[in-house]
Chain A
Amino acid sequence: MSRGRALPWLLLGPVVLWNLVFFLAPVGVMVVRSVTERGFSLAAYRSVFTTPLYLVVMLTTLETSLLVTAGCLLLGYPLAYLLATSGPRRRAALLVLVVLPYWLDYIVRSYSWMVLLGRTGLMNRTLMDLGLIATPLSILYTRWSVLVGMVQILLPLMVLTLYAAMLRIDRMLLQAAAAHGASPSASFRRVFFPLSLPGVYGACLLTFVTSLGFYITPALLGGRKDTMIAQLIVTVSTDMLDWSLASAVSVLLLVVSLAIVVVYNRFFSIDRLWGGSA
């Protein structure tokens, strides 16, 4: 009896402890520091909300994340669909191709994009050699290069989450649709797509929240106007050495992320992502 009750705690214990010590405690320290650097004071929050820069960067961050999520969804959904509907052999090959970039560190991938997209990079040179352009395009250090880099890095997350959700769609339902007169496209529109929506909601949320905190990729590929909130936090803490302000901006990011998750969950119950019913 007591062993039966102890077991869940034994299994959960290590991960709970780990998260307490290395996640919740630092977050707590950060929140405390945002108000107590020089005695208790909300000065840091005052400057966050009165300096336009912070809010502008927060908006840029939300906008970039939204575009990245949309890009990942547009590219990822067809790929996940192909994965979910392929035979075992093609599926295995495709999965390797999807996961392969995941094994490569994203700093390396961001640098690779610099090489590809730079003024004398592969892309510009190819376009010039083909005679399509006369002078190199400035692609690097724009919103576009940030989006391209981030979409490429986050695509596997989107694809794998969508794929997992699509695998749970009973293939018998598609047979039933066909047997009752639905063409492949009607079957997709009326049956497969609606049933994949919970997976779409979940995958979008995951991608969006992950991209909110991106640092390296926008730092390497973006221009000054494309600064994201994580870069700002680094600048404030390591260049300006203003720890309470950096903490306050971090708390802002944390609150915005949590708020999005909570609101989103109200509309598109996240539980469905993990197989629960609506």
Chain B
Amino acid sequence: MGAEAARSPGAAVVLERLTKRFGTVLALDRVSLEVPSGSFVTFLGPSGSGKTTTLNVIAGFLEPDEGEVFIDGRPISRTPTHRRDLGMVFQSYALFPHMTVFDNVAFPLRMRTRLPKMELERAVEAALALVHLAGLGGRYPRQLSGGQQQRVATARALVSRPRLLLMDEPLGALDKKLREQMQVEMKSIHRAVGSTFLYVTHDQEEALAMSDVVVVMRDGRIEQVGSPRDLYAAPASEFVADFLGSANLLPGRVVGREGDAALLALDGGTRLRVPHDPDGPAAGAAVKLLVRPEDVEVHLGDRADGGRQTVPGKVSEIIYLGEMTRVVVDTAEGVIVARLAGRRGGELALGHAVAVSWPPTAVRLLPASPGS
């Protein structure tokens, strides 16, 4: 353990070209990542993207075919799971059904330490208090609600103050309201204990809400790594744009460049000037124009205010959601969805001829993914 790492309560984790095959399926394909000590990193992706496999390799439940995991600079492929100083929360919680809540939470301490009875009890009580379950130590897991079981599982993972916490869809079995509440609690627990959290989820909202860094995975590869804000605002691919939040992706082609702008011809005939970094798609390349629904404005008639990019269309669906209204507009470029916040959109009705528009700075050019 390096001297610097020892000062922080969180482990620094490095994944180096992890590769894992199940039969002919490539579950992990040269996954490399650096996780700074004490950070909250979320692996996000659809099922089969390799996020849980990555976690299982780090836990030691699976051996990678190639590559290595380093914790605090040391390779750990020869270290068995029980010597890796982990805490882990499973989606099914995996609480020991024959033990009380107290014994479940005390388990890691009994395995790893020789604490005297008094101190053990104090540590368990502290962990239970951290997850707001003080006083329930005598119950058995089956006597608890799903939310309480989740908290016990979290307390068990934390109690021995491991430097690395692995969480595999820990909130996946909870209902939406409880899940949102637990997201907030997880974040504050992370701040309180300072361990490195590696978190797996397929829920993009959860990933955005909790993480310092989100790792988007797809087909066993890392698609993009970044802060939630970066990923949402500047996705590198159509997949990331679509997976994080909702996205209007309009197909088109770069037809030329003018300084730091690209001239874009959308497939439906609309021509636009789009701000564009020099190392983006070259002239002639097939692209997708990303427009986030919250940037889209819908105007009655066919004209928008000056300076905005405009596509004419017809309202085909209006869905009122309370805090916002989702308006679906059929245009020559395809279906464009707008999210109008608050009371806006009240004047619209099905079949209205409208103009959808967005500020030119709100769009992003993405390389069209092959086959789409």
A residues within 8 Å of B by Cβ?
A: 170, 172-173, 175-184, 186-187, 190-191, 194-195, 277
**Contact in complex: A181, B160 (CB < 8 Å):** yes
* Given A170-B92, A186-B111, A277-B142, CB of A179 within 8 Å of CB of B98: no
B111 and A175 within 8 A (CB): no
Q: Which residues of B sit under 8 angstroms from A186, Cβ to Cβ? A: 82, 111
CB-contact partner of A180 in B61, B86, B92, B97, under 8 A: B86
B107 near A179 (CB under 8 angstroms)?
no
Leading 5 A-B pairs by shortest Cβ distance: A181-B111, A176-B94, A179-B88, A180-B108, A178-B81
Cα distance, A195 to B96, chains bound together (Å): 9
Listed in ascending order, the chain B residues whose CB lies under 8 Å from chain A are: 59-61, 80-82, 84, 86-88, 90, 92, 94-98, 107-108, 111-112, 142, 156-157, 160, 166
**Nearest B residue to A170, CB-CB:** B94
A-chain residues with CB within 8 Å of residue B96 when the two chains form the complex: 173, 176-177, 190-191
Q: How far is the CA of A195 from the CA of B59 in the complex (A)?
A: 23
Provide a sorted-by-A list of 30 A–B residue pairs whose CB atoms are within 8 angstroms: A172-B90, A172-B94, A173-B96, A175-B59, A175-B81, A175-B88, A175-B94, A176-B95, A177-B96, A177-B111, A178-B60, A178-B61, A179-B59, A179-B81, A179-B86, A179-B87, A179-B88, A180-B82, A180-B87, A180-B111, A180-B156, A180-B160, A181-B111, A181-B112, A181-B160, A183-B111, A184-B82, A186-B82, A195-B97, A195-B98
Report the Cα distance A217→B157, complex, angstroms. Answer: 54
Q: B166 — which chain A residues lie within 8 A by C-beta?
A: 179
Query: In the complex where A194-B98, A277-B142 touch, is A180 in contact with B107 (Cβ < 8 A)?
Result: yes
A-B CB contacts (within 8 Å), total count: 71
Residues of A within 8 A of B94 (CB): 170, 172-173, 175-176
* Minimum Cβ distance to chain B for residue A189 (Å): 11
A173 / chain B contacts, CB cutoff of 8 Å: 94, 96-97
Chain B residues within an 8 Å CB radius of A190: 96, 107
**Chain A residues, Cβ within 8 Å of B60:** 178
Of B84, B92, B112, the contact of A172 (CB 8 Å cutoff): B92
**Chain B residues whose C-beta falls within 8 Å of the C-beta of A187 in the assembled complex:** 82
Name A187's closest neighbour in chain B (CB-CB).
Answer: B82
Q: For residue A178, which residues in chain B have a CB less than 8 angstroms away from its CB?
A: 60-61, 80-82
Per the bound structure, the CA–CA distance linking A175 and B80 in Å amounts to: 12
With both beta carbons as reference points, the residue of chain B lying nearest to A195 in the complex is identified as B98
> In whole angstroms, what is the CA distance A186 to B96 when docked?
14
CA distance A35 to B120 in the complex (A): 66
Chain B residue contacts of A191, Cβ below 8 A = 96
Chain B residues lying within 8 Å of A182, measured Cβ to Cβ, are 82, 107, 111
User: Which chain A residue has the least Cβ–Cβ distance from B81?
Assistant: A178
Residues of B with C-beta under 8 A to A277: 142
Complex-state Cα separation, A195 to B61, whole angstroms? 21
* Bound-state Cα–Cα, A277 to B96, Å: 14
- A178–B107 Cα distance when bound, in Å, is 11
Minimal Cβ-Cβ distance residue in A for B108: A180
Please name 8 further chain A to chain B contacts, defined as beta carbons within 8 Å, in addition to the given A179-B59, A180-B86, sorted by A numbering.
A175-B81, A176-B95, A177-B82, A179-B88, A180-B107, A181-B108, A186-B82, A195-B98
Q: How far is the CA of A179 from the CA of B160 in the complex (A)?
A: 12
In the bound complex, CA of A175 to CA of B87 (Å): 11
> Which residue of chain B has its CB nearest to the CB of A183?
B82
Complex interface: chain B residues within 8 A of A180 (CB) = 82, 86-88, 107-108, 111-112, 156-157, 160
Bound-state CA distance A176–B98 (Å) is 14
Q: CA of A6 to CA of B82 in the docked complex: distance in angstroms? A: 55
Q: Which chain A positions have C-beta within 8 A of B59?
A: 175, 179
Distance, CA A176 to CA B166, complexed state (A): 11
A177 to B16, CA, bound (A): 27
Residues of chain A within 8 A (CB-CB) of B98 are 194-195
Most A Cβ at <10 Å: residue of B61, B84, B96, B156: B96
- Taking CB as reference atom, which chain A residue is nearest B113? A181
* B143 to A: closest C-beta gap in Å: 11
Instruction: List chain A residues, Cβ under 8 A from B80.
Output: 178, 183
Question: Which chain B residue has the least Cβ–Cβ distance from A198?
Answer: B98
* Distance (whole angstroms) from the CB of B134 to the closest CB of chain A: 21
For residue A191, which residue of chain B has the nearest CB?
A: B96
A-chain residues with CB within 8 Å of residue B157 when the two chains form the complex: 180
Give the distance in Å from the alpha carbon of A186 to the alpha carbon of B82 in the complex. Answer: 10
Identify the interface centre among A173, A179, A180, A181: most chain B CB within 10 Å of its CB. A180
